[in-house]
Copies of this chain bind each other. A is one copy, B any other.
Amino acid sequence: MAVVDRTTQRADISHVRTLSSFSVATIHEAQDRTGLLASRLRPIFRGTRVAGTALTCEVAPGDNSSIHVAGDVARDGDLLVVTPTSACDDGYFGELLATHMVARGVVGLVIDAGVRDVAELRDMSFPVWSSAISARGTVKETPGNVQVPIVCAGVAIAPGDVVVADDDGVVVVAREDALEVIAECRAREAKEAAYRKLLVAGEGTLDLFALRQKFLDAGLRDIKE
C-alpha cells in the first residue's frame, strides 16, 4: 500500500545553489518565519551548510526499507529527508547507505530519527541532521512511501522542495516560492549589513529599530539612576 513516485519535479538547480548561500535563519525570516523544522534536528558535525532538492521518504519504526527505495530514485542534487511514522531513535542510516547515496549524487541527509557510523560519516564529509545517534540497526521488511508529501519534524515537505541545513537547523522552501524567497533573502542581507555597521559603531538596537518609544508606550517603566 506504499508508493514510490518517480515523477517528482525538482526545484530549479540554480535556485538551490543560490539558496545555499543564505543561512537557515535568513531564509526562515525571509519567508515570514515559516518552514523551519523542529530544533531537535542537529548536525552530526558542525560547520557545514548544504542545500538540495527534497527526496522524501517515510519509514516505519525500526525499518529502513524506504531509504533503500529512495536510493533507487535519487538524482544529483537530492537531499534525503526521512520521517518515521512514529518516534524512533534507531540508527536508520550508516556508512554503507551513505556510500550508496554519494554514488547517486545525494548531498546529505535530514532525518527525524537516529543515524550511526557518525565517525565514518564525518570522515566522508557526508552531512547529516538527525534527532538521535544510535548504533541500533533496523530491519528491511515494510516499505513506506517515497517521494510523496510528508511531515518531517513538524513541517510539511513536498518532494522536490528545496531544503537548506546549517548549524542552526533545517528549513524548507517550497519549490514554487524559491525565487521570491531568494529576493527577500537578498533584501534582508543588505538591510542587516547596514545594521551591522551601525551596531559596530556603537548604536543601540532600541534606537535602530525604533523600539524605545514603542516599549515605553507598552508600559515599560524606566528606573533611572
Chain A interface residues toward B at CB < 8 A? 1-7, 23-25, 28-29, 32-33, 36, 38-39, 42, 46-47, 60-63, 65, 68-69, 71-72, 85-91, 94, 96-97, 99-100, 103-104, 114, 116-120, 122, 132-137, 139-143, 149, 151, 154-156, 166-169, 171, 192, 195-196, 199-202, 204-206, 209, 211-212, 214-215, 218-225
Contacts and interface: CB of A to CB of B under 8 A. Distances in A.
22 contacts: A1-B32, A2-B220, A4-B220, A4-B221, A6-B223, A25-B91, A25-B116, A25-B117, A33-B85, A39-B89, A39-B114, A39-B132, A62-B63, A68-B206, A72-B206, A96-B195, A134-B168, A139-B142, A140-B211, A149-B156, A151-B151, A156-B156
B199 A39 contact: no
A218 B5 contact: no
B114 A215 contact: no
A117 to B, nearest CB: 6
A167 B133 CA distance: 8
A34 to B, nearest CB: 8
Contact of A220 (B116, B133, B143, B200): B143
Nearest to A165: B135
Nearest to A219: B1
Contact of A60 (B23, B134, B139, B169): B139
Q: How many copies does the complex hold?
A: 6
B167 A156 contact: no
B135 A25 contact: yes
A134 B86 contact: yes
A6 to B, nearest CB: 5
